């Protein structure tokens, strides 16, 4: 199958599946025989059509005299995405390849329909300027309006444009293992490197040797704020898949004790695998949800506790192109309640004078500042020492929120 056939297959599968877009893509590419260039094209087409869903549907509605069936609609989105959003593909090639694909996948009449709509788009140079702003930026209206109320119009537009771009690939250099990581050093963090070419990355000697871990630089902030020291005891409440856990061990120089807890045994296995590859020897995993830790760690206290809470992930929407279409506004309220429970439960395990760090990859105040405010009202003995927020377009990395509190 070609890259375009695989992208179409993925768009069709996503309509029938509850799997996440990245899971569908990984499964499909694992069995596809594609060159690195074609793998990149299939990824760009699939993710791009998801990101620009609203804008593409707007164009289809304007150009198509009738509403097509889902398969044909996905063919049109595939062709229109290439025409309207990909400069590197010549317009004639975008039309020709999509029509050829339609001839193999749809009826002759539907293939003619696809050809007519795409040629109309090519000749008329259809514009989405007349669409509502959330449609032009291809984000749900409720999310657009929420962000405009919080960030203002210009920052919201910039954020949505950021989310519609393919994300760069970053790695963290692991100082517990020898070896030079691939990529270019970044200004954001001395351990963060940007990788331009991902082909063969997971087969490289440096990967096998544990010289690096795939990780956006923004995720290092929570551990830097936690500031674990060699010889201390640390509890990582929501540890899987282990990126922050192994970085904690790295900062502690493999001296001390780390308990990596998570409610999912399957995801804890990933923590164990990552610890072994990266040489994080002071980590013990614990299959236990954050709100039930008192049953597993009775009377135990730690120098530092990290709560990297499950959240809406609106700060990493660029990396999860289908997230904006799955997330509902009411989920933010539900998550804020869960986050508050986790933070309150974790506070019991902070020794007097110890540090509690709360972090999310959300941009929503209900999940960030308000959770910390509510916690402090119920726990006046914890003093807030610092908070840090990263806004993706401004800081050039994923969005995160981090708050550091001290017990007494």
- H/E element, 76: helix 70-85
Query: What three-state secondary structure class fits 128?
Result: coil
Distances (CA, A) of 58 to 64, 73, 121, 249, 303: 10, 12, 12, 49, 54
3-state helix, strand, coil in the chain (%, to 5): 55, 15, 30
Asked if residues 345 and 294 have their Cβ atoms less than 8 Å apart, the reply is: yes
Question: In DSSP terms, which residues pair with 185 in a beta bridge?
Answer: 193
> How many angstroms from the chain centroid is the CA of residue 339?
19
Asked if residues 244 and 276 have their Cβ atoms less than 8 Å apart, the reply is: no
**Residues 278, 281, 286, 290, CA torsion sign:** negative
Question: In DSSP terms, which residues pair with 387 in a beta bridge?
Answer: 403
User: Tokens standing for 34?
Assistant: 């594609």
Question: In DSSP terms, which residues pair with 365 in a beta bridge?
Answer: none
Helices and strands of the chain, counted as H and E runs: 19, 11
> Measured between alpha carbons, how far is 213 from 201 in angstroms, rounded to an integer?
11
User: What are all long-range contacts of 195-200, with beta carbons under 8 Å and residues at least 24 apart?
Assistant: 195/168, 195/169, 195/170, 195/171, 196/169, 198/169, 199/36, 199/39
18 contacts: CB under 8 Å, gap ≥ 6: none
Note if 160 is an active site residue: no
Place of tokens 């993710």: 47
> Measured between alpha carbons, how far is 134 from 384 in angstroms, rounded to an integer?
37
Catalytic residue chosen out of the listed positions 137, 238, 311, 361: 361
User: Catalytic positions, please?
Assistant: 361
């Amino acid at each position: 199958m070609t890259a375009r056939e695989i992208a179409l297959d993925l768009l069709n599968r996503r309509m029938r599946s509850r799997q996440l877009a990245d899971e569908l893509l990984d499964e499909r590419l694992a069995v596809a025989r594609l060159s690195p260039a074609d793998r990149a094209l299939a990824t760009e087409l699939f993710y791009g059509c998801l990101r620009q869903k609203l804008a593409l549907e707007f164009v289809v509605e304007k150009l198509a005299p009738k509403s097509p069936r889902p398969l044909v609609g996905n063919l049109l989105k595939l062709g229109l995405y290439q025409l309207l959003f990909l400069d590197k593909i010549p317009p004639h090639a975008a039309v020709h390849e999509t029509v050829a694909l339609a001839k193999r996948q749809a009826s002759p009449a539907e293939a003619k329909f696809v050809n007519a709509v795409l040629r109309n788009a090519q000749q008329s140079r259809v514009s989405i300027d007349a669409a509502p702003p959330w449609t032009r930026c291809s984000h749900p209206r409720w999310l657009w309006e929420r962000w405009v109320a919080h960030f203002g119009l210009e920052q919201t537009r910039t954020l949505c444009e950021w989310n519609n771009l393919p994300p760069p690939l970053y790695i963290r250099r692991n100082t517990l293992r020898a070896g030079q990581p691939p990529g270019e050093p970044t200004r954001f963090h001395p351990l963060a490197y940007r990788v331009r070419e991902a082909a063969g990355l997971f087969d490289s000697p440096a990967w096998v040797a544990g010289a690096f871990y795939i990780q956006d630089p923004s995720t290092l902030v929570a551990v830097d704020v936690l500031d674990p020291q060699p010889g201390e005891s640390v509890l990582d409440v929501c540890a899987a898949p282990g990126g922050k856990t192994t970085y904690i061990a790295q900062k502690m120089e493999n001296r001390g004790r780390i308990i990596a807890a998570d409610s999912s045994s399957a995801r804890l296995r990933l923590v164990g695998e990552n610890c072994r590859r990266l040489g994080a020897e002071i980590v013990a995993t614990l299959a236990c949800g954050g709100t039930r830790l008192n049953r597993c760690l009775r009377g135990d206290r730690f120098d530092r506790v990290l709560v990297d809470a499950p959240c809406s992930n609106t700060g990493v929407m660029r990396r999860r192109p289908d997230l904006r279409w799955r997330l509902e506004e009411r989920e933010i309220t539900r998550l804020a309640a869960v986050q508050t429970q986790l933070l309150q439960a974790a506070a019991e395990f902070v020794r007097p004078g110890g540090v509690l760090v709360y972090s999310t990859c959300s941009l929503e105040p209900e999940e960030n500042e308000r959770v910390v405010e509510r916690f402090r009202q119920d726990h006046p003995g914890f003093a807030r020492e610092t908070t840090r927020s990263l806004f993706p377009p401004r800081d050039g990395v994923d969005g995160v929120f981090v708050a550091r509190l001290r017990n007494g």
